[in-house]
Chain A
Amino acid sequence: MKKNRAHTVIVQKDLEDLIPVFMSNRRKEIETLRVALASADFEQLRQLGHRMRGVGNSYGFEQISEIGKQVEDGAIAGDRSGIASCIAEYSDYISSVQISYE
Protein backbone atom coordinates (compact mmCIF):
# COMPACT_ATOMS: atom_id res chain seq x y z
CA MET A 1 0.00 0.00 0.00
CA LYS A 2 1.25 3.44 -0.90
CA LYS A 3 1.38 6.20 1.65
CA ASN A 4 -1.57 8.62 1.73
CA ARG A 5 -3.46 6.53 -0.75
CA ALA A 6 -7.18 7.28 -0.36
CA HIS A 7 -9.39 4.40 0.73
CA THR A 8 -13.14 4.27 0.86
CA VAL A 9 -15.02 1.90 3.05
CA ILE A 10 -18.74 1.30 2.82
CA VAL A 11 -20.39 0.72 6.18
CA GLN A 12 -23.96 -0.30 6.91
CA LYS A 13 -26.12 2.71 7.67
CA ASP A 14 -27.35 1.28 10.97
CA LEU A 15 -23.77 1.11 12.27
CA GLU A 16 -23.08 4.79 11.56
CA ASP A 17 -23.45 5.86 15.16
CA LEU A 18 -20.82 3.30 16.22
CA ILE A 19 -18.14 4.46 13.80
CA PRO A 20 -16.83 7.58 15.62
CA VAL A 21 -16.03 5.48 18.70
CA PHE A 22 -14.67 2.67 16.52
CA MET A 23 -12.27 5.06 14.77
CA SER A 24 -11.26 6.70 18.04
CA ASN A 25 -10.44 3.25 19.43
CA ARG A 26 -8.34 2.47 16.35
CA ARG A 27 -6.25 5.60 16.91
CA LYS A 28 -5.72 4.53 20.54
CA GLU A 29 -4.83 1.09 19.25
CA ILE A 30 -2.07 2.57 17.05
CA GLU A 31 -0.55 4.23 20.09
CA THR A 32 -0.74 0.98 22.05
CA LEU A 33 0.96 -0.85 19.16
CA ARG A 34 3.78 1.70 19.16
CA VAL A 35 4.32 1.39 22.90
CA ALA A 36 4.29 -2.42 22.69
CA LEU A 37 6.79 -2.36 19.82
CA ALA A 38 9.07 0.04 21.68
CA SER A 39 9.20 -2.37 24.60
CA ALA A 40 9.40 -5.40 22.27
CA ASP A 41 6.30 -6.86 23.89
CA PHE A 42 5.56 -9.41 21.16
CA GLU A 43 2.84 -11.15 23.10
CA GLN A 44 0.84 -7.95 23.35
CA LEU A 45 1.57 -7.20 19.70
CA ARG A 46 0.28 -10.64 18.78
CA GLN A 47 -2.91 -10.11 20.77
CA LEU A 48 -3.45 -6.65 19.28
CA GLY A 49 -2.91 -7.99 15.77
CA HIS A 50 -5.33 -10.83 16.45
CA ARG A 51 -7.95 -8.41 17.70
CA MET A 52 -7.51 -6.15 14.65
CA ARG A 53 -8.08 -9.16 12.41
CA GLY A 54 -11.36 -9.92 14.10
CA VAL A 55 -12.84 -6.48 14.43
CA GLY A 56 -11.73 -4.86 11.12
CA ASN A 57 -13.61 -7.06 8.68
CA SER A 58 -16.59 -7.33 11.01
CA TYR A 59 -17.15 -3.58 10.60
CA GLY A 60 -16.30 -3.68 6.91
CA PHE A 61 -12.67 -2.49 7.18
CA GLU A 62 -10.84 -5.31 5.42
CA GLN A 63 -7.59 -3.40 5.42
CA ILE A 64 -7.50 -3.35 9.22
CA SER A 65 -7.88 -7.13 9.28
CA GLU A 66 -5.10 -7.54 6.76
CA ILE A 67 -2.72 -5.29 8.69
CA GLY A 68 -3.75 -7.09 11.89
CA LYS A 69 -2.78 -10.44 10.36
CA GLN A 70 0.63 -9.05 9.39
CA VAL A 71 1.13 -7.69 12.92
CA GLU A 72 0.13 -11.04 14.43
CA ASP A 73 2.44 -13.00 12.11
CA GLY A 74 5.25 -10.48 12.67
CA ALA A 75 4.87 -10.76 16.43
CA ILE A 76 5.08 -14.56 16.27
CA ALA A 77 8.22 -14.22 14.12
CA GLY A 78 9.72 -11.45 16.31
CA ASP A 79 9.95 -9.19 13.25
CA ARG A 80 10.27 -5.68 14.72
CA SER A 81 10.89 -3.86 11.46
CA GLY A 82 8.02 -5.64 9.75
CA ILE A 83 5.68 -4.66 12.57
CA ALA A 84 6.94 -1.07 12.48
CA SER A 85 5.98 -0.91 8.80
CA CYS A 86 2.57 -2.33 9.59
CA ILE A 87 1.97 0.28 12.29
CA ALA A 88 2.97 3.06 9.92
CA GLU A 89 0.66 1.66 7.28
CA TYR A 90 -2.14 1.34 9.81
CA SER A 91 -1.70 4.92 10.96
CA ASP A 92 -1.71 6.13 7.38
CA TYR A 93 -4.81 4.13 6.59
CA ILE A 94 -6.78 5.37 9.62
CA SER A 95 -5.95 8.99 8.92
CA SER A 96 -6.93 8.78 5.27
CA VAL A 97 -9.80 6.35 5.05
CA GLN A 98 -13.08 7.71 3.74
CA ILE A 99 -16.28 6.21 5.06
CA SER A 100 -19.62 6.19 3.35
CA TYR A 101 -22.82 4.68 4.68
CA GLU A 102 -25.52 2.78 2.86
Chain B
Amino acid sequence: MNDIVFHAGRDLAQMEFRVLIVEDDPDMAILLARMLEKEGMSVDTIVEGDAALTHIMSSVPDLIVLDVILPGLSGFEICERLKANEATALIPIVLVTALEDTPSRIRGIEAGADDFLSKPVKGEELIARVKSLRRLHETRRELEARRLGAEVEHKETIRKAFSRYVSPRLAERIISDLGKEGLPFQSHAQRISVVALFADLRGFTRLTETIEVDKVVGMLNEYFAVITEAAYRHDGTIFSLAGDCLLVGFNVPFAQPDAAVRAWRTAQEMIEGFAPVLANWTRRGGISTGVGIGIASGEAIIGNVGSPYHMSYTIIGDAVNTAARLMQMAKAGELLVSGTVYDEIHGLLPAGRVASRGNVALRGKSEATPVYAIELAEAKPV
Protein backbone atom coordinates (compact mmCIF):
# COMPACT_ATOMS: atom_id res chain seq x y z
CA MET B 1 0.00 0.00 0.00
CA ASN B 2 3.03 2.26 0.16
CA ASP B 3 2.67 3.23 -3.49
CA ILE B 4 -0.84 4.58 -3.05
CA VAL B 5 -0.97 8.05 -4.54
CA PHE B 6 -1.16 10.81 -1.96
CA HIS B 7 -3.13 13.86 -3.02
CA ALA B 8 -1.15 17.05 -2.78
CA GLY B 9 -2.61 19.37 -0.13
CA ARG B 10 -3.71 22.84 -1.10
CA ASP B 11 -1.41 25.70 -0.29
CA LEU B 12 -3.33 27.49 2.43
CA ALA B 13 -0.33 28.60 4.44
CA GLN B 14 -1.76 32.07 4.81
CA MET B 15 -4.63 30.83 6.92
CA GLU B 16 -4.54 31.39 10.60
CA PHE B 17 -5.73 28.15 12.14
CA ARG B 18 -3.36 25.29 11.35
CA VAL B 19 -4.55 21.72 11.65
CA LEU B 20 -2.33 18.68 11.38
CA ILE B 21 -3.98 15.46 10.26
CA VAL B 22 -2.07 12.31 11.19
CA GLU B 23 -3.74 9.45 9.32
CA ASP B 24 -2.12 6.44 7.70
CA ASP B 25 -4.69 6.16 4.93
CA PRO B 26 -3.92 8.88 2.36
CA ASP B 27 -7.48 8.83 1.04
CA MET B 28 -8.83 9.37 4.52
CA ALA B 29 -6.28 12.10 5.20
CA ILE B 30 -7.14 14.06 2.06
CA LEU B 31 -10.85 13.72 2.76
CA LEU B 32 -10.47 15.13 6.26
CA ALA B 33 -8.20 17.86 4.92
CA ARG B 34 -10.74 18.80 2.29
CA MET B 35 -13.49 19.10 4.91
CA LEU B 36 -11.39 21.40 7.11
CA GLU B 37 -10.01 23.49 4.27
CA LYS B 38 -13.58 24.25 3.24
CA GLU B 39 -13.91 25.88 6.66
CA GLY B 40 -10.94 28.13 5.98
CA MET B 41 -8.35 26.17 7.98
CA SER B 42 -4.81 25.46 6.86
CA VAL B 43 -4.14 21.72 6.85
CA ASP B 44 -1.01 19.56 6.78
CA THR B 45 -1.23 15.78 6.50
CA ILE B 46 1.23 13.14 7.69
CA VAL B 47 0.81 9.36 7.37
CA GLU B 48 3.37 8.08 9.87
CA GLY B 49 3.63 8.39 13.66
CA ASP B 50 7.31 9.19 14.18
CA ALA B 51 7.32 11.73 11.33
CA ALA B 52 4.24 13.34 12.85
CA LEU B 53 5.93 13.85 16.20
CA THR B 54 9.01 15.37 14.55
CA HIS B 55 6.81 17.66 12.48
CA ILE B 56 4.81 18.81 15.51
CA MET B 57 7.95 19.63 17.46
CA SER B 58 9.34 21.76 14.63
CA SER B 59 6.07 23.42 13.62
CA VAL B 60 3.46 23.41 16.35
CA PRO B 61 -0.07 23.21 14.88
CA ASP B 62 -3.18 24.72 16.45
CA LEU B 63 -5.03 21.39 16.47
CA ILE B 64 -4.27 17.76 15.64
CA VAL B 65 -6.62 15.17 14.19
CA LEU B 66 -4.90 11.94 15.13
CA ASP B 67 -5.66 8.40 13.97
CA VAL B 68 -5.06 5.66 16.53
CA ILE B 69 -3.48 3.08 14.25
CA LEU B 70 -0.37 4.40 12.55
CA PRO B 71 2.90 3.02 11.27
CA GLY B 72 5.60 3.80 13.86
CA LEU B 73 4.32 5.52 17.00
CA SER B 74 0.63 4.93 17.62
CA GLY B 75 -1.86 7.73 18.07
CA PHE B 76 -1.96 6.98 21.82
CA GLU B 77 1.83 7.26 22.15
CA ILE B 78 1.91 10.54 20.21
CA CYS B 79 -0.92 11.90 22.35
CA GLU B 80 0.83 10.92 25.59
CA ARG B 81 4.12 12.49 24.51
CA LEU B 82 2.51 15.74 23.40
CA LYS B 83 0.49 16.08 26.59
CA ALA B 84 3.59 15.43 28.70
CA ASN B 85 5.54 18.21 26.97
CA GLU B 86 4.95 21.75 28.21
CA ALA B 87 5.43 23.17 24.72
CA THR B 88 2.73 20.99 23.17
CA ALA B 89 0.45 20.06 26.08
CA LEU B 90 -2.18 22.63 25.16
CA ILE B 91 -2.59 21.59 21.52
CA PRO B 92 -6.12 20.19 21.22
CA ILE B 93 -6.10 16.59 19.95
CA VAL B 94 -9.05 14.89 18.27
CA LEU B 95 -8.45 11.14 18.34
CA VAL B 96 -9.99 9.15 15.50
CA THR B 97 -11.30 5.75 16.63
CA ALA B 98 -13.85 3.20 15.51
CA LEU B 99 -17.30 4.06 16.86
CA GLU B 100 -17.74 0.83 18.81
CA ASP B 101 -14.17 0.72 20.04
CA THR B 102 -14.76 1.66 23.69
CA PRO B 103 -11.37 0.39 24.94
CA SER B 104 -9.62 2.71 22.47
CA ARG B 105 -11.66 5.66 23.73
CA ILE B 106 -10.76 4.88 27.33
CA ARG B 107 -7.11 4.55 26.34
CA GLY B 108 -7.44 7.85 24.47
CA ILE B 109 -8.86 9.62 27.53
CA GLU B 110 -5.97 8.28 29.58
CA ALA B 111 -3.53 9.51 26.93
CA GLY B 112 -5.04 13.02 27.22
CA ALA B 113 -7.10 13.30 24.03
CA ASP B 114 -9.42 16.31 24.03
CA ASP B 115 -12.14 14.81 21.82
CA PHE B 116 -12.97 11.83 19.65
CA LEU B 117 -14.13 11.25 16.15
CA SER B 118 -15.55 8.03 14.75
CA LYS B 119 -14.96 6.37 11.42
CA PRO B 120 -16.74 6.61 9.08
CA VAL B 121 -16.18 10.30 9.49
CA LYS B 122 -19.16 12.57 9.06
CA GLY B 123 -18.16 15.99 7.77
CA GLU B 124 -20.59 17.89 10.00
CA GLU B 125 -19.36 16.11 13.10
CA LEU B 126 -15.70 16.74 12.26
CA ILE B 127 -16.33 20.43 11.68
CA ALA B 128 -18.42 20.81 14.85
CA ARG B 129 -15.75 19.18 17.02
CA VAL B 130 -12.87 21.08 15.46
CA LYS B 131 -14.70 24.40 15.70
CA SER B 132 -15.51 23.80 19.34
CA LEU B 133 -11.90 23.01 20.16
CA ARG B 134 -10.77 25.95 18.05
CA ARG B 135 -12.85 28.33 20.15
CA LEU B 136 -11.41 26.82 23.30
CA HIS B 137 -7.90 26.99 21.90
CA GLU B 138 -8.28 30.62 20.85
CA THR B 139 -9.61 31.56 24.26
CA ARG B 140 -6.63 29.86 25.86
CA ARG B 141 -4.29 31.60 23.44
CA GLU B 142 -5.85 34.98 24.16
CA LEU B 143 -5.54 34.45 27.91
CA GLU B 144 -1.94 33.32 27.46
CA ALA B 145 -1.20 36.40 25.34
CA ARG B 146 -2.69 38.63 28.04
CA ARG B 147 -0.67 36.88 30.72
CA LEU B 148 2.51 37.22 28.68
CA GLY B 149 1.73 40.86 27.96
CA ALA B 150 1.33 41.58 31.67
CA GLU B 151 4.56 39.71 32.39
CA VAL B 152 6.45 41.66 29.73
CA GLU B 153 5.07 44.94 31.10
CA HIS B 154 6.08 43.95 34.62
CA LYS B 155 9.58 43.01 33.50
CA GLU B 156 9.89 46.23 31.51
CA THR B 157 9.06 48.22 34.63
CA ILE B 158 11.69 46.31 36.57
CA ARG B 159 14.18 46.65 33.74
CA LYS B 160 13.72 50.43 33.67
CA ALA B 161 14.21 50.57 37.43
CA PHE B 162 17.38 48.44 37.29
CA SER B 163 18.72 50.30 34.29
CA ARG B 164 19.36 53.29 36.53
CA TYR B 165 22.03 51.25 38.25
CA VAL B 166 23.33 48.67 35.82
CA SER B 167 24.04 48.22 32.14
CA PRO B 168 21.14 47.14 29.91
CA ARG B 169 22.87 43.75 29.53
CA LEU B 170 23.06 43.26 33.29
CA ALA B 171 19.47 44.45 33.68
CA GLU B 172 18.35 41.74 31.23
CA ARG B 173 20.26 39.13 33.19
CA ILE B 174 18.73 40.27 36.47
CA ILE B 175 15.25 40.04 34.94
CA SER B 176 15.93 36.60 33.51
CA ASP B 177 17.01 35.48 36.99
CA LEU B 178 13.93 36.88 38.70
CA GLY B 179 12.22 34.21 40.71
CA LYS B 180 15.38 32.21 41.26
CA GLU B 181 16.26 32.07 44.89
CA GLY B 182 19.36 33.88 46.01
CA LEU B 183 19.77 36.05 42.93
CA PRO B 184 20.53 38.80 42.37
CA PHE B 185 19.31 41.53 44.76
CA GLN B 186 18.72 39.78 48.02
CA SER B 187 16.79 41.46 50.75
CA HIS B 188 19.42 40.47 53.28
CA ALA B 189 22.92 41.91 53.13
CA GLN B 190 25.87 39.90 51.80
CA ARG B 191 29.59 40.20 52.35
CA ILE B 192 31.38 39.66 49.06
CA SER B 193 34.64 40.49 47.34
CA VAL B 194 34.29 43.56 45.13
CA VAL B 195 36.31 45.97 43.04
CA ALA B 196 35.21 49.56 43.70
CA LEU B 197 35.85 52.43 41.30
CA PHE B 198 35.37 56.08 42.24
CA ALA B 199 35.52 58.75 39.54
CA ASP B 200 35.39 62.47 40.10
CA LEU B 201 35.77 65.59 38.02
CA ARG B 202 38.76 67.08 39.72
CA GLY B 203 38.35 70.69 40.86
CA PHE B 204 34.95 70.97 39.23
CA THR B 205 33.09 71.97 42.40
CA ARG B 206 35.33 75.02 42.69
CA LEU B 207 34.83 75.79 38.98
CA THR B 208 31.05 75.72 39.31
CA GLU B 209 31.24 78.87 41.42
CA THR B 210 32.35 80.77 38.31
CA ILE B 211 30.19 79.00 35.68
CA GLU B 212 26.61 79.98 34.92
CA VAL B 213 24.17 77.66 36.70
CA ASP B 214 22.35 76.39 33.61
CA LYS B 215 25.67 75.55 31.97
CA VAL B 216 26.81 73.47 34.96
CA VAL B 217 23.99 70.95 34.56
CA GLY B 218 24.66 70.59 30.83
CA MET B 219 28.36 70.05 31.45
CA LEU B 220 27.70 67.45 34.14
CA ASN B 221 25.36 65.63 31.80
CA GLU B 222 28.05 65.52 29.12
CA TYR B 223 30.55 64.20 31.66
CA PHE B 224 28.26 61.55 33.14
CA ALA B 225 27.18 60.40 29.68
CA VAL B 226 30.79 59.48 28.96
CA ILE B 227 31.68 57.84 32.25
CA THR B 228 28.43 55.93 32.85
CA GLU B 229 28.61 54.57 29.31
CA ALA B 230 32.12 53.31 30.03
CA ALA B 231 30.89 51.67 33.26
CA TYR B 232 28.00 49.98 31.49
CA ARG B 233 30.22 48.81 28.65
CA HIS B 234 32.13 46.70 31.16
CA ASP B 235 29.05 45.66 33.15
CA GLY B 236 29.81 47.74 36.20
CA THR B 237 27.02 48.46 38.67
CA ILE B 238 26.49 52.12 39.47
CA PHE B 239 25.86 52.48 43.18
CA SER B 240 26.04 56.20 43.60
CA LEU B 241 26.01 59.34 41.52
CA ALA B 242 26.33 62.51 43.55
CA GLY B 243 27.61 65.89 42.46
CA ASP B 244 30.34 65.04 40.00
CA CYS B 245 31.31 61.79 41.75
CA LEU B 246 30.43 58.29 40.57
CA LEU B 247 30.82 54.98 42.42
CA VAL B 248 30.91 51.82 40.31
CA GLY B 249 31.13 48.25 41.66
CA PHE B 250 32.39 45.14 39.87
CA ASN B 251 31.87 41.50 40.80
CA VAL B 252 28.47 42.56 42.05
CA PRO B 253 25.63 41.57 41.83
CA PHE B 254 27.01 38.85 39.51
CA ALA B 255 30.41 37.21 39.79
CA GLN B 256 33.01 38.68 37.46
CA PRO B 257 36.30 36.78 37.78
CA ASP B 258 37.96 39.55 35.72
CA ALA B 259 36.47 42.34 37.85
CA ALA B 260 39.80 44.20 38.29
CA VAL B 261 40.45 44.12 34.54
CA ARG B 262 36.93 45.40 33.87
CA ALA B 263 37.50 48.23 36.35
CA TRP B 264 40.81 49.14 34.70
CA ARG B 265 39.24 49.17 31.21
CA THR B 266 36.39 51.30 32.53
CA ALA B 267 38.80 53.84 34.06
CA GLN B 268 40.83 53.96 30.86
CA GLU B 269 37.73 54.58 28.73
CA MET B 270 36.36 57.14 31.19
CA ILE B 271 39.48 59.28 30.98
CA GLU B 272 40.06 58.78 27.25
CA GLY B 273 36.38 59.25 26.43
CA PHE B 274 36.22 62.45 28.44
CA ALA B 275 39.23 63.99 26.65
CA PRO B 276 37.25 65.37 23.64
CA VAL B 277 34.56 66.75 25.98
CA LEU B 278 37.20 68.48 28.04
CA ALA B 279 38.89 69.83 24.91
CA ASN B 280 35.59 71.39 23.92
CA TRP B 281 35.07 72.92 27.39
CA THR B 282 38.59 74.30 27.34
CA ARG B 283 38.11 75.78 23.87
CA ARG B 284 34.80 77.38 24.74
CA GLY B 285 35.37 78.54 28.27
CA GLY B 286 38.97 78.00 29.22
CA ILE B 287 37.92 75.37 31.72
CA SER B 288 40.68 73.17 33.07
CA THR B 289 39.69 69.96 34.82
CA GLY B 290 39.84 66.21 34.23
CA VAL B 291 38.67 62.89 35.58
CA GLY B 292 40.49 61.49 38.59
CA ILE B 293 39.87 57.86 39.46
CA GLY B 294 40.60 55.52 42.37
CA ILE B 295 40.20 51.73 42.25
CA ALA B 296 40.53 49.31 45.17
CA SER B 297 39.48 45.73 45.85
CA GLY B 298 38.49 43.84 48.96
CA GLU B 299 35.49 42.68 50.89
CA ALA B 300 32.38 44.79 51.12
CA ILE B 301 28.84 44.51 52.35
CA ILE B 302 26.14 44.72 49.71
CA GLY B 303 22.54 45.31 50.59
CA ASN B 304 19.43 47.39 50.29
CA VAL B 305 19.60 50.21 52.78
CA GLY B 306 16.94 52.74 53.60
CA SER B 307 13.39 53.01 54.83
CA PRO B 308 10.04 51.88 53.45
CA TYR B 309 9.95 55.27 51.70
CA HIS B 310 13.33 55.19 50.03
CA MET B 311 15.66 52.28 49.43
CA SER B 312 19.13 52.28 47.96
CA TYR B 313 21.21 49.37 46.75
CA THR B 314 24.41 50.11 48.64
CA ILE B 315 27.98 48.94 48.91
CA ILE B 316 29.89 49.54 52.16
CA GLY B 317 33.36 48.49 53.21
CA ASP B 318 37.09 48.97 53.20
CA ALA B 319 37.45 48.60 49.42
CA VAL B 320 34.96 51.43 48.92
CA ASN B 321 36.68 53.70 51.46
CA THR B 322 40.08 52.99 49.94
CA ALA B 323 38.86 53.69 46.40
CA ALA B 324 37.34 56.98 47.64
CA ARG B 325 40.61 58.03 49.29
CA LEU B 326 42.57 57.13 46.15
CA MET B 327 40.21 59.17 43.99
CA GLN B 328 40.66 62.16 46.30
CA MET B 329 44.43 61.87 45.88
CA ALA B 330 44.30 61.40 42.10
CA LYS B 331 45.17 64.24 39.78
CA ALA B 332 43.02 65.07 36.76
CA GLY B 333 43.67 62.40 34.12
CA GLU B 334 45.21 60.06 36.68
CA LEU B 335 44.18 56.67 37.99
CA LEU B 336 45.34 55.46 41.41
CA VAL B 337 44.95 51.78 42.25
CA SER B 338 45.56 49.77 45.37
CA GLY B 339 48.23 47.06 45.44
CA THR B 340 45.69 44.22 45.14
CA VAL B 341 44.22 45.76 42.01
CA TYR B 342 47.66 46.47 40.56
CA ASP B 343 48.60 42.80 40.97
CA GLU B 344 45.66 41.84 38.77
CA ILE B 345 46.14 44.38 35.99
CA HIS B 346 49.84 45.29 35.84
CA GLY B 347 50.36 43.25 32.67
CA LEU B 348 47.84 45.44 30.86
CA LEU B 349 49.15 48.84 31.91
CA PRO B 350 50.85 51.17 29.40
CA ALA B 351 54.61 51.12 29.70
CA GLY B 352 56.18 54.26 31.09
CA ARG B 353 52.97 55.58 32.56
CA VAL B 354 52.92 53.64 35.81
CA ALA B 355 54.60 54.76 38.97
CA SER B 356 54.60 53.30 42.46
CA ARG B 357 53.66 55.74 45.19
CA GLY B 358 54.92 53.31 47.82
CA ASN B 359 52.90 52.43 50.89
CA VAL B 360 50.55 55.28 51.60
CA ALA B 361 48.80 55.94 54.91
CA LEU B 362 45.25 56.65 53.83
CA ARG B 363 42.95 58.57 56.10
CA GLY B 364 40.85 56.27 58.25
CA LYS B 365 43.04 53.22 57.65
CA SER B 366 45.36 51.81 60.28
CA GLU B 367 47.72 50.12 57.80
CA ALA B 368 49.54 51.74 54.90
CA THR B 369 48.24 50.81 51.43
CA PRO B 370 50.50 50.14 48.44
CA VAL B 371 49.43 52.63 45.77
CA TYR B 372 50.23 52.79 42.05
CA ALA B 373 49.57 55.74 39.80
CA ILE B 374 48.71 55.37 36.11
CA GLU B 375 48.78 58.51 34.04
CA LEU B 376 46.08 58.23 31.37
CA ALA B 377 45.94 61.85 30.26
CA GLU B 378 48.23 64.77 30.85
CA ALA B 379 47.91 64.79 34.62
CA LYS B 380 47.27 68.11 36.28
CA PRO B 381 47.31 68.95 39.97
CA VAL B 382 43.91 69.30 41.57
Q: Are A and B interaction partners?
A: yes
**Complex: how many Å from CA A55 to CA B299?**
77
Mark contacts of B23-65 with chain A using CB atoms, 8 A cut-off: 1 yes-contact digit, 0 otherwise. 0111110110010001000000000000000000000000000
Question: Which range holds the interface residue count of chain B?
Answer: 10 to 19
Q: Which of A1-9, A56-64, A83-91 faces chain B?
A: A56-64
Query: What are 11 contact pairs spanning A and B, CB under 8 A?
Result: A29-B1, A32-B1, A51-B24, A51-B25, A54-B25, A54-B28, A54-B120, A55-B119, A55-B120, A59-B27, A59-B31
A18 touches B30 (CB 8 A): yes
Contact of B34 among A14, A51, A54, A55 (CB under 8 A): A14
Residues from chain B with Cβ under 8 Å of A58 in the complex: 28, 31, 119-121
Q: Which of A20-28, A74-82, A92-100 faces chain B?
A: A20-28
B31 touches A18 (CB 8 A): yes
When C-beta atoms are compared, the residue in chain A nearest to B97 turns out to be A54
Mark contacts of B1-41 with chain A using CB atoms, 8 A cut-off: 1 yes-contact digit, 0 otherwise. 10111010000000000000000111110110010001000
B69 CB within 8 Å of chain A: yes
B98 CB within 8 Å of chain A: yes
B31 touches A15 (CB 8 A): yes
When C-beta atoms are compared, the residue in chain A nearest to B30 turns out to be A18
Contact of A47 among B7, B28, B69, B121 (CB under 8 A): B69
Known: A55-B28, A59-B31. A50 touches B69 (CB 8 A): yes
**Complex: how many Å from CA A32 to CA B25?**
14
A25 touches B120 (CB 8 A): no
B contacts, CB < 8 Å to A:
1, 3-5, 7, 24-28, 30-31, 34, 38, 69, 98, 119-121
Residues from chain A with Cβ under 8 Å of B34 in the complex: 14-15, 18
Which residues 26-67 in A have Cβ within 8 Å of B in the complex? 28-29, 32, 47-48, 50-51, 53-59, 65
A48 touches B98 (CB 8 A): no
Greatest chain A CB density within 10 A among B28, B30, B69, B120 is at B120
Known: A18-B7, A18-B30, A18-B31. A55 touches B25 (CB 8 A): yes
**Complex: how many Å from CA A57 to CA B119?**
8
Chain A nearest CB from B38 CB (Å) reads 7
B5 touches A48 (CB 8 A): no
Chain B nearest CB from A12 CB (Å) reads 8
A28 touches B4 (CB 8 A): yes
A56 touches B120 (CB 8 A): yes
**Complex: how many Å from CA A33 to CA B5?**
17
When C-beta atoms are compared, the residue in chain A nearest to B23 turns out to be A54
**Complex: how many Å from CA A28 to CA B34?**
23
Chain B nearest CB from A20 CB (Å) reads 9
Chain B nearest CB from A85 CB (Å) reads 21
Chain B nearest CB from A38 CB (Å) reads 16
**Complex: how many Å from CA A65 to CA B340?**
87
Greatest chain B CB density within 10 A among A18, A28, A53, A58 is at A58
When C-beta atoms are compared, the residue in chain B nearest to A60 turns out to be B120
Residues from chain A with Cβ under 8 Å of B28 in the complex: 51, 54-55, 58
**Complex: how many Å from CA A15 to CA B30?**
10
Contact of B119 among A14, A21, A54 (CB under 8 A): A54
**Complex: how many Å from CA A53 to CA B97?**
12
**Complex: how many Å from CA A16 to CA B62?**
29
Residues from chain B with Cβ under 8 Å of A47 in the complex: 69
When C-beta atoms are compared, the residue in chain A nearest to B31 turns out to be A58
A53 touches B27 (CB 8 A): no
